Amino acid sequence: MSWNDDLDPDQIAAASHQGTHSRLLAGPGTGKTLTLIRRIIYLIEEQNIDPHKIAILTFTRSARNELEERLKEGLNNTESLPQILTLHSFALGMILRNPTRTRLPQPIRVADDYEERKVIVEEMKDILNLNSIKEVYDLFNKLSADWETLAIEEEGWETRFPNPQFLGAWQEHRNIYGYTLRSELVYQLKLALEEENLEFDVLVEHLLVDEYQDLNPCDLAVIKHMTSLGSELFCAGDDDQSIYGFRYANLEGIRRFSEEYDPSALMSLETCYRCDEEILQLGLYIAEQDPRREPKIINCREGCGQGHVRILKFVHQQEEADGIATICNWLISNRGIDPSKILILVRSDRNRIFSKVALDAIQNKGLPVRIESNPLAPLFTDEGRIFICLLHLFMNPQDNLAWRVLLDIRNNGLGSSTFKRIYEIARTQGSTFYEVISQVRSNPDIIPRRGIMIQRELNLILDLLEQFDINSFPDLNSFIGLSALLK
């Protein structure tokens, strides 16, 4: 495949641009992803750019996976691919390559969803004597927001934080357990870049950023620092399609691009290949309600149809669910549509408030339907957690969070009062969770009655781990068998 096969003139101009930073404004259905893929192929196969010197940053893992698959299809040689990462993955990779050059607890250990909920949030609630888990989440969300918006760098930030005690308690807690939150990764990378404190394996010559309109001020600052190190920036996006206001996406990043990067090239894709005329015009009508939107021209492809738009209104939720089921039934029975080609999206679905009603209505029509499940759900069971904890301990026998979770979910007689006692000893001594339980292993009397249980647990788990050679990663089936022994 040639890099410019089947591209229109606007797509060719964007894919082959060189010499300055550039912004590609691409409305829905105009071929943004195609152009991005072809630009990468152009750089590698036409300009002989080393793929290792190209980095593509996406906003979601699904977008990252799609780009990788399409790039493999388009490149003549797939032995060496450029980096395709989400911004958080990029930040984590940079931090892991430079762990001691950050302000984070060492070794770098990022807490996952389970650990955040079951250890961090639960214990912070007790430490601060708060009434509900929601209060803790609100404080963490506020902290995350201040990283994302860079409000944390404003003078007097600590005094304006809703609960200053939370900040001190959290710093103490993270030192005892030695963790890093995922929500702080990008901000920590920003700090390290500002301090010129990072070493790069290979400097990025070409930095491509997808969905640029969804970057927040902290994300944009990281991108800016990368360009100051010599990266040529190519960003693509559309301010009409920004949907991540909840994480403080800053539309001014894409709207004021030419002011931030001077000189720079402003390019656009003006032909929509996805929608017919009426559908496109309705979308543009909605987008034009924003008086600050970036002016753009979007026309339907040659030979497009008129298209049809129907807006349905329902009196209540059950009527809406029945209506959805009726439409699905008609599409399948009258139009021969494969049920797997029909996707129903809901805006939110806590406790399946919306999906359950629609599911029942569709099943009542005798139609096949399923709710998309979380493929990682098994890892949130006790068995899955034991497996994850043992993997962490195999890599680092002093992993505080892994020990805390493992001791908690085992049926061993240890409860919250024991963990509070361990935490209090660690706080008083200025030590970690693992250091305290190691002391208890040597001297169970440190924690009367429960100390001997802790000693027994540590001996059992460490003896099992010693079955595996620390110098080579264990056979997965054997490790799963080990997990079963601790169930």
How distant is the alpha carbon of residue 85 from its chain centre?
A: 10
Instruction: Collect all residues with Cβ–Cβ distance below 8 Å to 422 and sequence separation of at least 6.
Output: 433, 436, 437, 440, 447
Report how far residue 274's alpha carbon sits from residue 28's, in angstroms, rounded to the nearest whole number.
8
pLDDT at 283: 84
Which pairs with CB-CB distance under 8 Å and at least 24 residues apart come from 126-132? Answer: 126/416, 126/420, 127/169, 127/173, 128/163, 128/165, 128/166, 128/169
Q: In residues, how long is the chain?
A: 487
pLDDT at 276: 87
Locate 154 and state its tokens: 């404003």
Report how far residue 205's alpha carbon sits from residue 199's, in angstroms, rounded to the nearest whole number.
15
One-letter amino acid at 362 equals I
Locate 304 and state its tokens: 């497009």
Instruction: Collect all residues with Cβ–Cβ distance below 8 Å to 250 and sequence separation of at least 6.
Output: 215, 216, 217, 220
Report how far residue 403's alpha carbon sits from residue 399's, in angstroms, rounded to the nearest whole number.
6
pLDDT at 469: 66
Taking residue 99's Cβ as centre, other Cβ atoms within 10 Å add up to 12
Taking residue 335's Cβ as centre, other Cβ atoms within 10 Å add up to 7
pLDDT at 485: 66
Partnered with residue 207 across adjacent β-strands are 55, 233
Domains of the chain: 9-92+191-274 (3.40.50.300), 113-179 (no CATH), 317-364 (no CATH), 377-485 (1.10.486.10)
Write a three-state SS string for the chain. Answer: CCCCCCCCHHHHHHHCCCCCEEEEEECCCCCHHHHHHHHHHHHHHHCCCCHHHEEEEECCHHHHHHHHHHHHHHCCCCCCCCEEEEHHHHHHHHHHHCHHHCCCCCCCCECCHHHHHHHHHHHHHHHHCCCCHHHHHHHHHHHHHHHHHCHHHCCCHHHHCCCHHHHHHHHHHHHHHCCECHHHHHHHHHHHHHCCCCCCCCCCCEEEECCHHHCCHHHHHHHHHHHHCCCEEEEEECHHHCCCHHHCCCCHHHHCHHHHCCCEEEEEECEECCCCHHHHHHHHHHHCCCCCCCCCCCEECCCCCCCCCCCCCCCCHHHHHHHHHHHHHHHHHHHCCCHHHCCCCCCCCHHHCCHHHHHHHHHHCCCCCCCCCCCCHHHHCHHHHHHHHHHHHHHCCCCHHHHHHHHHHCCCCCCHHHHHHHHHHHHHHCCCHHHHHHHHHHCHHHCCCCHHHHHHHHHHHHHHHCCCCCCCCCCHHHHHHHHHHCC
Taking residue 424's Cβ as centre, other Cβ atoms within 10 Å add up to 11
The residue behind tokens 């992803």 is: 33
**Integer angstrom CA distances of residue 412 from 262, 334, 384:** 64, 60, 18
Task: Give phi and psi for 300, each to the nearest 5.
Answer: -70, 155
pLDDT at 129: 96
Locate 258 and state its tokens: 């030419």
pLDDT at 179: 98
Instruction: Collect all residues with Cβ–Cβ distance below 8 Å to 177 and sequence separation of at least 6.
Output: 119, 120, 400, 401, 404, 432, 433
pLDDT at 483: 67
pLDDT at 278: 87
pLDDT at 268: 96
pLDDT in 10s for each residue of the chain, 487 residues: 789 999 999 999 999 999 999 999 999 899 999 999 999 999 999 999 999 999 999 988 889 999 999 999 999 888 889 999 999 999 999 999 999 889 899 999 999 999 999 999 999 999 999 999 999 999 999 999 999 999 999 999 999 999 999 999 999 999 999 999 999 999 999 999 999 878 888 899 999 999 999 999 999 999 999 999 999 999 999 998 887 666 788 899 999 999 999 999 999 999 999 888 888 888 888 888 888 888 888 889 988 888 888 888 999 999 999 999 999 999 999 999 999 889 888 877 776 777 889 999 999 999 998 877 666 777 778 888 998 999 899 889 999 999 999 999 998 889 999 999 999 999 999 999 999 999 999 999 999 999 999 999 999 999 888 877 666 666 667 667 666 667 6
Instruction: Collect all residues with Cβ–Cβ distance below 8 Å to 198 and sequence separation of at least 6.
Output: 94, 97, 98, 101, 192
